[in-house]
Amino acid sequence: MAGPETGMPGESRAESDATPFRPFAGLRVVDLTRVLAGPYCSYLLGLLGAEVIKVEPPGRGETIRRRAGGDPALAEAGVSVAWSTQSANKRCITLDLDRPRGQALFRELAASADVVVQNLRTGSAEKRGIGYAQLSAINPRLVYCAITAYGGNGPRATHPAYDSVIQAVSGLMSLTGLPDGEPLKVGPPAIDYVTGMNAALAVVCALFERSQTGRGRFIDLAMLDSNFALMTSALTLFVNTGRQPSRPGNDAASRAPASTTYRVSDGQFAIAINEEHQYVHLFQSMGLAHLLDDPRFATLADRNRNIPALRAELQRVFETNTAAHWEKVLNEAGAPGGRVNTLAEITAHPQFAARGLFQPVSVEADGRSAQMQLPLAPFSVEGDRGSIRLAPRPVGADTDAVLRELGVDDAELTTLRADGTI
């Protein structure tokens, strides 16, 4: 069972007068995706009310179900934290799409759907008779989102990839790390999740158009393209000037002379000071008002010529106090800054709790159960971030129920299970 829904900060949905934000109630999404990017797209739609039917191979389901981390017993039961992170609100069925009957059942399922999301390699769906042209002939209103590594055309169209490979190929790694160090990847799988967000946005756009035209659309969405979107400023600069930005380390993207990280008495502290009035606030709040009249730092041009000296002046004062002290002093003065937190520190911060980003859920499989905190939508509408109404499900938990809805009787279910189709 799902936990209580999240409402305005500090109150449950039951205490709130707001109407639940479920814009996709009544929408059916068929999710033929695996790992992170595609599942996160359908997860967002499910949080906001859609019925999501997750299709997996028979047997153990997709491999991420058993990815290590969190509760080992739940991982072995096929509901690992890694899988559950983007798998609530999904009815789970199994179909062998290499078998003709499995393909036929998928087409029947798609005929009843509003959206299909898949992340098979380019051309794989068409070989199985479940590509967009084949399904839209059955269901012209279908919105079909194909997520691939490199997109549906170009010399890399059929190449597989994961987040880390895309970070390398896209050039993102060349922009990450210390100026004199080796290229580095971004720590978490950010490309997977931004791809999932972009896919959800594209689906919403196609659904909005369908409300006016009555027809669905084919969406070609590449992880590489989504990564380029994250690199928009650097990539656009290069396309127009041919200049490769150097790796900035901890310097802000603006390359403003003071904007980097500093040692404080209990850790590291980051500031981003881009506007002239922010320099005034910074210097005054740190007891360095005299630097406003120092010819080395009087103007932006002066500061850019004297970056090491400027940072040395700031470092000397920063290290005299704590991150908490500087967060209060600088932000109240209008100079943006904050502690370099660990995950333990930021999740313990009152700001994290105030935003209501996670919902407690009881996850069960094979007689094992555990409480998990699972993420809600990264935005709120009148305090509502969507809700988890169905906990992550074991492999194939809903196969019989969903196929019965398609008219499959008990005798055929027995046959399908015996021959490995489900």
Query: Which residue has better confidence, 11 or 259?
Result: 259
Mind listing the domains of the chain with CATH numbers?
A: 13-232+355-418 (3.40.50.10540), 261-347 (3.30.1540.10)
- Helices 37-47, 190-213: crossing angle, 10 deg rounding: 50
E-strand ranges in 17-73 read: 28-32, 51-56
Query: What was the pLDDT predicted at 68?
Result: 83
Query: What was the pLDDT predicted at 4?
Result: 34
> Looking at residues 245-263, what average pLDDT do you find?
93
Query: What was the pLDDT predicted at 13?
Result: 45
E-strand ranges in 119-222 read: 143-148, 218-222
Start-to-end CA distance of the chain, whole Å, equals 26
**What's the pTM?**
0.92
Q: Which residue type does 144 have?
A: Y
pLDDT interval class at 158 (50, 70, 90) = very high
Query: Which residue has better confidence, 16 or 354?
Result: 354
> Looking at residues 224-250, what average pLDDT do you find?
95
> Looking at residues 230-247, what average pLDDT do you find?
94
How many angstroms from the chain centroid is the CA of residue 147? 14
Instruction: Dump pLDDT digits (tens) for 103-138.
Output: 999 999 999 999 999 999 999 999 999 999 999 999
Task: List the structure tokens of 69.
Answer: 């981390």
Whether residue 12 is predicted with pLDDT greater than 90 in this model: the reply is: no
pLDDT interval class at 2 (50, 70, 90) = very low
The mean of the pLDDT values for the chain is: 94
Residue among 31, 96, 114, 192 flagged as catalytic: 192
Tell me, yes or no, if 71 is annotated catalytic.
no
Min mean pLDDT across 62-76, 310-324, 372-386, 408-422 is at: 62-76
Query: What was the pLDDT predicted at 307?
Result: 97
Whether residue 3 is predicted with pLDDT greater than 60 in this model: the reply is: no
Query: What was the pLDDT predicted at 253?
Result: 86
Whether residue 11 is predicted with pLDDT greater than 80 in this model: the reply is: no
**What is d(CA 127, CA 150) in angstroms, rounded to the nearest whole number?**
19
How buried is 47 (Cβ within 10 angstroms: 0-12 exposed, 13-18 middle, 19+ buried)?
Answer: buried
> Looking at residues 223-242, what average pLDDT do you find?
96
DSSP label of 6: B
Q: With pLDDT > 90 as the criterion, what percentage of the chain qualifies?
A: 91
> Looking at residues 313-340, what average pLDDT do you find?
98
- Tell me the sheet residues that pair with 32: 118
> Looking at residues 284-304, what average pLDDT do you find?
96
Query: What was the pLDDT predicted at 17?
Result: 58
